[in-house]
Amino acid sequence: MSRSSAVAGLARAWFLALPLLLAATVADAAKVTLDKSNWGLEVGKDCVSCHQKSSAGLAKQWEDSAHAKAGVNCMDCHKAEPADADAITHEGHVIATVVSPKDCGRCHTTEYEEQKGSVHAEAVSLIAAKIPALGHNVGGPAMEAAGCAQCHGSVVKVRGDGTLDPATWPNSGIGRINPDGSKGSCSSCHGRHRFSKAQAREPTACVRCHFGPDSPDKEIYEASKHGMLYASQRDEMNLNAETWVAGKDYTAAPTCVTCHMGAAGKLPATHDVGMRNMWSLNTPVSQRQHLVVLEDGDKLELPESVEPPKRGAELDKGDGTVGKVKAVATPQRRREAMSTVCLECHAKPFVTNFMRQFDDVVELFNEKFGKPATAMMDELYAAGLLTPVPFDEPIEFTYWELWHDEGARARHGASMGSPNHAWWEGMYLVGRNFYSRFLPEVRTVAGQARGDEIIARHLADVAGHAWLKAPQRGNPILGYRPPSPVAEATPATPAAPGATP
Amino acid sequence: MSRSSAVAGLARAWFLALPLLLAATVADAAKVTLDKSNWGLEVGKDCVSCHQKSSAGLAKQWEDSAHAKAGVNCMDCHKAEPADADAITHEGHVIATVVSPKDCGRCHTTEYEEQKGSVHAEAVSLIAAKIPALGHNVGGPAMEAAGCAQCHGSVVKVRGDGTLDPATWPNSGIGRINPDGSKGSCSSCHGRHRFSKAQAREPTACVRCHFGPDSPDKEIYEASKHGMLYASQRDEMNLNAETWVAGKDYTAAPTCVTCHMGAAGKLPATHDVGMRNMWSLNTPVSQRQHLVVLEDGDKLELPESVEPPKRGAELDKGDGTVGKVKAVATPQRRREAMSTVCLECHAKPFVTNFMRQFDDVVELFNEKFGKPATAMMDELYAAGLLTPVPFDEPIEFTYWELWHDEGARARHGASMGSPNHAWWEGMYLVGRNFYSRFLPEVRTVAGQARGDEIIARHLADVAGHAWLKAPQRGNPILGYRPPSPVAEATPATPAAPGATP
Amino acid sequence: MSRSSAVAGLARAWFLALPLLLAATVADAAKVTLDKSNWGLEVGKDCVSCHQKSSAGLAKQWEDSAHAKAGVNCMDCHKAEPADADAITHEGHVIATVVSPKDCGRCHTTEYEEQKGSVHAEAVSLIAAKIPALGHNVGGPAMEAAGCAQCHGSVVKVRGDGTLDPATWPNSGIGRINPDGSKGSCSSCHGRHRFSKAQAREPTACVRCHFGPDSPDKEIYEASKHGMLYASQRDEMNLNAETWVAGKDYTAAPTCVTCHMGAAGKLPATHDVGMRNMWSLNTPVSQRQHLVVLEDGDKLELPESVEPPKRGAELDKGDGTVGKVKAVATPQRRREAMSTVCLECHAKPFVTNFMRQFDDVVELFNEKFGKPATAMMDELYAAGLLTPVPFDEPIEFTYWELWHDEGARARHGASMGSPNHAWWEGMYLVGRNFYSRFLPEVRTVAGQARGDEIIARHLADVAGHAWLKAPQRGNPILGYRPPSPVAEATPATPAAPGATP
């Protein structure tokens, strides 16, 4: 090993411990000895013989699974105790329809523990405060079942007769609250009833939720170099390999799993999908985030501006309970974990510079648009110029989409290398909507004079808006050809920049 | 067979007859004996030898086809009689450029008969009333050729010299009116000149038309569990199988064809693509629909609110002619036909609850948005507040897109399991546009006071809009933090909810 | 050969010379004898052995490449001279991070020469005038790095310490200005470090840039018959073939490369991607374009309205230098080159009529929307009713998107056979935005009366707008049912057509 790679090796070593540290809570949950004494319930064979007739496709999916090959059958997963909240009697057997991560975790212990503390598992609580205004008011109750909850997860409700409430199931949302209290749904990514490893490693495993205006990760990936290489070299992805280490088991292209969950070099794989993300990107203003691991395996995120808590400190978990700090991964450590993956296929300067380009886009959004727009909204609410009811005034939609839609696309696009999403579907629309909709709406809400004053005050110190007051110049792209020099000496100033009457 | 599946078997039996019943009109059109006496025209060999040079790709596509293997050549399909409307002489032979479903139906009789009475075959008449305002006024005549007609079909026009009018051809719209009077184009789905069965079973067979703002079925499918499984397990789809029965010949994933046309269990395959759809989804207000089969094979749809006609009744077919009722499939029967497919891979409670979630989204759209918006538009027209000319006023675009675009996406998204399309690209936009564009535009058109009155009257009894008048509450998602209790006691009410000055 | 194909053969001959003529500048750049004396630097083996550890994926990609098989190693491409602008010392060797087309061109001479004069190579200068208003003002400097430049190319800047400025690299924009003065980046399409031929022939090779609102070529292709066939028959595309001639080496489907760069019949392949495009499509008003080839290999485009320059004439190249005309390809010759590809799989009348449908859409856009909108903008600027500062007024975004976004989609959609993009995502939105946004904004900017006058004057002679003044008719699609005949005799005229107060 040359000297410089030795140094690089040392430099890497300290943050390679991150995932191991974070995974340490599951030391006692090492994979149980997997032998047939733990499964293969005799009674399960009855299920199969009947379902081969009544739902042949479902049965065949299982037959093609690793489960079937290992002798795991229907009853090993669906068996329930009579006291279980969702136990029903079906053909003389006590079963539950919903198979929860806790059920899967009886064998897949490590994956269960990692998933349990992840941002995915908290997907229901993450949007709880948004449901009333969005899912219910702007949409309607039916949308919670068919919309929000299909990705974030429902709170599965068992009806008096033991059947499942259609308002809450079918559902395979990633943070589903199951009747047994566990959170999540393994089949969200590992499609029933084959539960394939290979399938979940495909980029399409994530598209049901990471698609569309606010998180077009599917489209961004497709439009990136990574997606381009995957599309052409999928046959060489070795997707069904037992281990799936980037740079070793495959090099054709990375998928979502590669960067966010996959093993690379000495970095181990994880089912905690958010661990390697330094920034909060789907917020009005992005922040670098500490990841705080608690003794019980739960995790919290704290902005970098907050002093990271010491080991053993007690923190409010937000649900009324208190957790004890076990470890903290700083934003920098999270970034380095992610970069470890990049380094399998890119040299260090490439990775450093790429991350800098990404960070610069996030900072641009924060300073030029996110902070001033949020401050103006705060002022309009505080001054009673907007009702406190969300979404009864047009500007509230404009502001919401500014950061939740186009602002998220700009930041996601930059993070994953799609120039189209970073710019045309991202920051270009942020700028367009800020200048041609949000500012005019501020004037509409506050009245022209007061609106002008509010805007001027909030934009005064933001360098990115100085062009509005710059000496007026023509630009060929809009067909403007400057009038005669005389006319230009006394330019017409029909309206304040950015104004609409 | 256990008792319960025997019961399920019985319960299913009565609606399994539906497609058989509907197919009964073609009893006399059973597949003709396919032997070489019916094709393999000697003269066709000349075509091949020349086209192998002048258009090698075209010739090769045919060489790779089942047609070539069976001895069917160019002339078997393109041969024409001198009296045919579009007959031309080419290299000494009388041929027609357009090969119609009637031509294909000489061998593929069943497929032809099924297609003939389908909603696909009526695709031209379905939009005839919309072309003047949309294709011609908002767009322009060139758009009918390159836009509308490419999916719906052109009325193919033969010019005086026997050549085809470029305003009407090339065209492979699904409801093309051919020179021989038949409707449709088999190559719309089965690409020339291979006419592959496997290719038409792919989800991509439908994307040319089922794509984009008003019917993003391609995107919805991709973003669904079904699409996720197809993408990863396409190799196991057995797409080239002679029969292609879900649950038997393949179980990896369903494609468009699987659910809308495919065989599953005892449900036979059909080329009548709309048969299993209970709802009209691309309408201002969705309705459950009877499917009425006439003696001549044509079909009509009637809303559930209408008493289904009796067998033998005479019905106006809409084109001036009268048809005699042969059978009626109620909305419930159509739903059950569709559910039969689902049941191959999903248990009954899953299917029932899923359909309930879908229906709830449709009803939500109808009651909260579709009906009130339509009623307000009717009132504005009737009061002379809008000109009768369509699309000369902004509100007309808003209303049109409310049901035709975002409203269709919400309903399609819920029907096929894409939460993104059901919500973010669907009902969220319906709500946003209703509250922040449509209602303000009603006030612009009618004047503030009259607009307020119209809106209040039409929304008064719709529970989904009560939140507009609910006690004002802040919501964390828009950054609002309630002011001091005193201020809250006398809330500022700067404008009527949903208002823009 | 029959008589008619002989005639066709003659007719074709004259334009088949086009690419040969254009390629003639590289006669002296014929592929150098490729033997190991030209590569295989011994020192490169050190790179490999270290990088197999420090970036295993990168090393493996090279191992799987044709380069590795031929003995070409890291140093053959990355070796630099100490005097090179971007030379750095890495592990004792002088290397450059950026490998430019000039470097690749040492072996791939023909490809380099073709690429050098292409529109791709000029991608930076093409948008230079747009960057200030768009990338900087509406967005911000970070967007140039992560947005514009990722497709168009950066001007790579070497910092004092020899490292690359993150504002300019990583970058693989198609027109990147490299430290050695050459333009472009071969890895833009041929992904590092395998540089696969097969991969660059895939339609996904182009998606990173040809995606999104202003050039959704990826989506258009997917929604076309061509994309439908590719998706189902990719296995038969023979993508790895040494030569890749449409109709000979493959017939399953065309990809982007097939039509824009690929060999077909006697038409040779080229790395000049724009050569076969007759129209300028991404402009406010499309024009048929001459392609002027200069003696030095550079190329210029001139509108058809200009008399094509004679051989030997001197032309201003736009960068201050002058070039001598070597040859001119007229719009018609460029169209015929493209049609040659079509003819492999389509008969002549199909191709002629298809092109007619496409041209009609372009002309419709030009006459009905592009020209009047541009003329109105010119007038508003000239009258001082708009500030010369671009994008400080809403109408400037509306006008920009009218031609750059929806207008481009309409034209691209028609050119490649996606009715959805031609119409719903194209001309429908052009029409909607013209009537319901642009015209009202003209009135806002100019005042109601003057706005009405401006609009009336500019639309008066455009047939496509006559419907606005046509006798008022109801239309079923918006729910309008005409009032009683009496009322219709004296129609209410609440507002001027197209007006919003």
Q: Provide, as residue numbers in chain C, all residues whose Cβ is less than 8 Å from the Cβ of B204.
A: 222, 227-228, 231-232
Find the farthest-apart pair of alpha carbons in chain C and give their distance in angstroms, rounded: 96
Length of chain C: 501
Which tens digits make up the pLDDT trace of B166-218? 999 999 999 999 999 999 999 999 999 999 999 999 999 999 999 999 999 99
Is residue C282 within 8 Å of residue C301, measured between CB atoms?
no
- Torsions phi, psi for A262 (to 5 deg): -85, 160
DSSP-assigned beta bridge partners for residue C292: C300, C328
Give the residue from chain A lying closest to B414, CA to CA.
A146
Cα-to-chain-centroid distance, residue C376? 27
Q: B60-69 long-range CB contacts below 8 Å, 24 or more apart?
A: B60/C247, B60/C251, B61/B192, B61/B193, B61/B194, B61/C251, B61/C252, B61/C345, B62/B193, B62/B194, B64/B194, B64/C236, B64/C251, B65/B193, B65/B194, B65/B195, B65/B196, B66/B195, B66/B196, B66/B197, B67/B195
Q: Do C444 and A4 touch (CB under 8 A)?
A: no
CA–CA min distance C41, chain A (Å): 20
Give the residue from chain C lying closest to A472, CA to CA.
C389
Instruction: Give the CA count within 13 Å in the CB-facing half-sphere of B11.
Output: 11
Q: Which of A61, A138, A387 sits opposite B345 (nearest CB)?
A: A61
Q: Provide, as residue numbers in chain C, all residues whose Cβ is less than 8 Å from the Cβ of B60.
A: 247, 251
Amino acid at B72: V
Q: Which of B232, B477, B495 sits opposite A130 (nearest CB)?
A: B477
CA–CA min distance C51, chain B (Å): 32
How far, in Å, CA of C344 to CA of C251, rounded? 9
Is residue A29 within 8 Å of residue A277, measured between CB atoms?
no
Ordered DSSP codes for C109-175: HHHHHHHHTSTGGGHHHHHTTTTIIIIIIII-HHHIIIIIHHHH--B--B-TTSPBPTTT-S---TT
C325 or B4, which is more confident = C325
How far, in Å, CA of B433 to CA of B428, rounded? 8
CA–CA min distance A41, chain B (Å): 20
Give the residue from chain C lying closest to A360, CA to CA.
C142
DSSP symbol at C287: -
* pLDDT in 10s for each residue of chain C, 501 residues: 333 333 333 333 444 455 555 544 433 333 445 567 778 888 899 999 999 999 999 999 999 999 999 999 999 999 999 999 999 999 999 999 999 999 999 999 999 999 998 999 999 999 998 999 999 999 999 999 999 999 999 999 999 989 999 999 999 999 999 999 999 999 999 999 999 999 999 999 999 999 999 999 999 999 999 999 999 999 999 999 999 999 999 999 999 999 999 999 899 999 999 999 999 999 999 999 999 999 988 999 999 999 999 999 999 987 889 999 999 999 999 999 999 999 999 999 999 999 999 999 999 999 999 999 999 999 999 999 999 899 999 999 999 999 999 999 999 999 999 999 999 999 999 999 999 999 999 999 999 999 999 999 999 999 999 999 886 666 666 755 544 443 333 333 333 333 333
Is residue C86 within 8 Å of residue C179, measured between CB atoms?
yes
- Number of C-beta neighbours around residue C349 at 10 A: 16
Q: Do C202 and A481 touch (CB under 8 A)?
A: no
Q: Do B478 and A132 touch (CB under 8 A)?
A: no
Cα-to-chain-centroid distance, residue A433? 24
DSSP-assigned beta bridge partners for residue A89: A94
CA–CA min distance C439, chain B (Å): 11
Q: Provide, as residue numbers in chain C, all residues whose Cβ is less than 8 Å from the Cβ of A344.
A: 55-58
Q: Which of A344, A418, A423 sits opposite C139 (nearest CB)?
A: A423
How far, in Å, CA of C188 to CA of C204, rounded? 12
Q: Do B474 and A381 touch (CB under 8 A)?
A: yes
CA-based R_g, chain B, Å: 26
Which tens digits make up the pLDDT trace of A325-364? 999 999 999 999 999 999 999 999 999 999 999 999 999 9
Q: Provide, as residue numbers in chain A, all residues whose Cβ is less than 8 Å from the Cβ of B420.
A: 151, 208-209, 211-212
B-contacting chains (≥3 CB pairs under 8 Å): A, C
Q: Provide, as residue numbers in chain A, all residues whose Cβ is less than 8 Å from the Cβ of C93.
A: none
Is residue A244 within 8 Å of residue A238, measured between CB atoms?
yes
Res B131 pLDDT > 60? yes
Q: Do B418 and A132 touch (CB under 8 A)?
A: no
Which tens digits make up the pLDDT trace of C394-440? 999 999 999 999 999 999 999 999 999 999 999 999 999 999 999 99
Q: Provide, as residue numbers in chain B, all residues whose Cβ is less than 8 Å from the Cβ of C251.
A: 56-58, 60-61, 64
Query: A472 exposed, middle or buried (CB, 10 Å; 0-12, 13-18, 19+)?
Result: middle
How far, in Å, CA of B203 to CA of B256, rounded? 6
How far, in Å, CA of C404 to CA of C413, rounded? 13
Q: Do C427 and B139 touch (CB under 8 A)?
A: yes
Q: Which of B167, B204, B386 sits opposite C231 (nearest CB)?
A: B204
CA–CA min distance C318, chain A (Å): 15
- Residues B451-489 as b/e (b if ≥16 CB within 10 A, e otherwise) read bbebbeebbeeeebbebbeeebebbebbbbeebeeeeee
Only one residue has tokens 């706005």, namely C451
Cα C362 to Cα C218, C356, C459, distances in angstroms: 20, 10, 18
Best residue in A251, A255, A459 for a mutation probing chain C (most C CBs within 10 Å): A251
Which tens digits make up the pLDDT trace of B34-89? 567 778 888 899 999 999 999 999 999 999 999 999 999 999 999 999 999 999 99
Q: Which of B2, B419, B494 sits opposite A384 (nearest CB)?
A: B494
Amino acid at C97: T
Indicate the SS3 state at residue A325. strand
Is residue C412 within 8 Å of residue C427, measured between CB atoms?
no
Q: Provide, as residue numbers in chain C, all residues whose Cβ is less than 8 Å from the Cβ of B403.
A: none
Give the residue from chain B lying closest to C487, CA to CA.
B384
Give the residue from chain A lying closest to B236, CA to CA.
A64
Q: Do A480 and C388 touch (CB under 8 A)?
A: yes
| Residue A264: both structure tokens together | 């690379």
Q: Do B353 and A211 touch (CB under 8 A)?
A: no
User: What ipTM was reported for this prediction?
Assistant: 0.91
Q: Provide, as residue numbers in chain C, all residues whose Cβ is less than 8 Å from the Cβ of A487.
A: 384
CA–CA min distance B464, chain A (Å): 6
Give the residue from chain C lying closest to B441, CA to CA.
C500
| Residue C89: both structure tokens together | 């010392």
- Number of C-beta neighbours around residue A379 at 10 A: 16
